């Protein structure tokens, strides 16, 4: 018997009665039994925590908008520059496009410290791999190492990454999730503003775009994420990767600029009427202290 929110929830021991029709029914029966057991365990844990005066931990809210597309000559990565701590803007000009190799860069969303350390570690590993093989690194090699490392930690490293680069096989764009899964697509978005950014890509993206048109598209996608998500903001950074080299464009655009005051808004004392006034005494313990000078001569 389990009590959740004042209601008694009972469960008979053993698996739930399910019609045993084929192997699929057996798998479904076991699956439901496991889910009920996990629900029962969580309810007991939450009840014990509340009795001890504790509350269950809450998931950390992170905010970012990162994006990338494959265009005619290479890959363009984009990101906003706002770093937040709950409802506080911790950094207005945070770098979210990280160096991996001379021809490969990576956008990071999620926990800023996790993304920074993860990309630094991966950059070192890729450099050692390149020195060992005597060849420039491939984008798929970086993606494989990233997803294998994140999978080992089972999602406890809060890094959602977009890996983009150009190698001997062409331009490639991957997204790697904190649990180790990945996607390969011609355009990608991640972060809390990804919904607004992906709508721009789905509406206007087309294969073999020219450079300036592709830069404008990524800028507009990041701008949409900034305007539609409180966790994204400040500036738009772009990184253009081609066979000729890398062009890192810091503060490429400032979609939300600070406005100027039209005048001085200073009111004279007494302009606003005081309707009520309440004085709350503050109890203090006043301690008399006497100081005695020490003779040091």
Q: Give the model's pLDDT for residue 92.
A: 93
Contact 234, 256 (CB under 8 A): yes
Tokens of 22: 């084929």
Task: Please give the average per-residue pLDDT across 95-121, as a whole number.
Answer: 96
Tokens of 132: 């060992």
Task: Please give the average per-residue pLDDT across 214-233, as a whole number.
Answer: 96
Q: What is the rounded distance in angstroms from the CA atom of residue 96 to the CA atom of residue 235?
A: 11
* pLDDT tier for residue 34 given thresholds of 50, 70 and 90: low
Strand partners, 260: none
This prediction's pTM: 0.73
Instruction: Tell me, yes or no, if 64 is annotated catalytic.
Output: yes
Sorted by where each begins, the domain ranges of the chain are 2-51, 65-253
Set 2, 62, 64, 242: catalytic member:
64
3-state helix, strand, coil in the chain (%, to 5): 30, 25, 40
Strand partners, 86: none
User: Which element (helix H / strand E) includes 220?
Assistant: helix 211-228
What's 65-253's CATH class? alpha beta
The more confident residue out of 109 and 269 is 109
Place of tokens 């997803």: 147
Q: Counting Cβ atoms within 10 Å, is residue 134 exposed (0-12), middle (13-18) or buried (19+)? A: exposed
% of the chain at pLDDT higher than 70 = 88
Q: Of 2-11, 66-75, 94-103, 204-213, where does mean pLDDT reach its minimum?
A: 2-11
Q: What is the rounded distance in angstroms from the CA atom of residue 44 to the CA atom of residue 72?
A: 57
The more confident residue out of 46 and 183 is 183
pLDDT in tens, 242-252: 999 999 999 99
* pLDDT tier for residue 32 given thresholds of 50, 70 and 90: low
pLDDT in tens, 114-152: 999 999 999 999 999 999 999 999 999 999 999 999 999
Give the C-alpha distances (Å, rounded to integers) separating 226 from 117, 126, 216.
25, 32, 15
Q: What is the rounded distance in angstroms from the CA atom of residue 32 to the CA atom of residue 162?
A: 35
The more confident residue out of 237 and 87 is 237
Q: Give the model's pLDDT for residue 28.
A: 53
pLDDT in tens, 258-268: 888 888 888 88
Q: What is the rounded distance in angstroms from the CA atom of residue 119 to the CA atom of residue 122?
A: 5
Q: What is the rounded distance in angstroms from the CA atom of residue 197 to the CA atom of residue 193?
A: 6
């Amino acid at each position: 018997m389990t009590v959740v929110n004042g209601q008694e929830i009972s469960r008979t021991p053993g698996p739930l009665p399910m019609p045993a029709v084929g192997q699929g029914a057996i798998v479904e029966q076991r699956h439901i039994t496991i889910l009920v057991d996990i629900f029962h365990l969580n309810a007991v844990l939450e009840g014990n925590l509340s009795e001890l005066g504790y509350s269950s931990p809450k998931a950390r809210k992170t905010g970012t908008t990162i994006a990338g597309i494959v265009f005619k000559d290479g890959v363009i990565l984009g990101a906003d520059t706002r770093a937040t701590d709950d409802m506080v803007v911790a950094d207005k000009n945070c770098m979210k496009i990280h160096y991996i190799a001379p021809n490969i860069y990576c956008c990071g969303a999620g926990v800023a410290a996790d993304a920074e350390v993860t990309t630094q570690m991966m950059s070192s590993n890729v450099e050692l791999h390149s020195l060992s093989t005597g060849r420039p690194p491939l984008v798929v090699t970086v993606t494989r190492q990233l997803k294998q490392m994140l999978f080992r930690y089972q999602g406890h490293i809060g890094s959602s990454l977009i890996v983009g680069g150009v190698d001997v096989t062409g331009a490639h764009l991957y997204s790697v999730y904190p649990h180790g899964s990945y996607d390969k697509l011609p355009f990608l978005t991640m972060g809390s503003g990804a919904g607004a950014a992906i709508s721009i890509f789905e509406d206007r993206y087309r294969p073999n775009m020219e450079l300036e048109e592709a830069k404008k598209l990524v800028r507009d996608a990041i701008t949409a994420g900034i305007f539609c998500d409180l966790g994204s903001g400040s500036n738009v950074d772009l990184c253009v990767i081609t066979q000729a080299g890398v062009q890192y464009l810091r503060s490429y655009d400032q979609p939300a600029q600070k406005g100027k005051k039209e005048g001085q808004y200073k009111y004279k004392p007494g302009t606003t009427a005081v309707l009520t006034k309440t004085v709350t005494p503050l109890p203090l313990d006043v301690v008399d202290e006497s100081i005695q000078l020490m003779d040091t001569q």
